Amino acid sequence: MKSAEFAFSCGAGAVVLIPTRAGNGAMERLRESGEFVPPTLAMLEAAQQAALALARGRVFADTWALEPFSACPHCFAARRERLETVNRTQRDMHPVRCEVCGGS
C-alpha cells in the first residue's frame, strides 16, 4: 500500500501490485532469518482492494504464477479470476467465499 500511495503521489496513473517471489536464494535466506514473510493470495487481494479505494489511478494485481501464494486449491481458480476481473474493470468485487478454507 505504501508503494501504491507513493507512486500515486508522484503522479503515476497506474500501479501494479507484484507479490515478492522467491527463487533466487536471497529471499529464502531472508525467510530463514525471519526478515521476510512470503505474501499470501489474501494479502494481494487486500492490497488491490485498498489501492483501488484510494481512487487515485488504475490498480493491477499481477496474476502470473500465483499458485505458490494460495493455500487452497479449491478456491484458487475463482480467486485468480476475481483478481483478473478487477484488473479489467477497475471495480472491486465481493471476495470469493470458500467452504474449505474460508477464503484465506
Q: What is the mean pLDDT of each run of 10 residues along the chain (104 residues)?
A: 95 97 90 93 96 97 96 96 98 94 75
Detail the DSSP E strand segments found in the chain.
14-17, 58-61
pLDDT of residue 42: 95
Distance from the Cα of residue 83 to its chain's centroid: 8
pLDDT of residue 96: 95
pLDDT of residue 104: 57
What residue segments make up the domains of the chain, in order of their start?
A: 2-89
Question: Is 92 exposed, middle or buried (CB count within 10 Å of its CB: 0-12, 13-18, 19+)?
Answer: middle
User: By C-alpha distance, which of 68, 88, 64 is closest to 23?
Assistant: 68
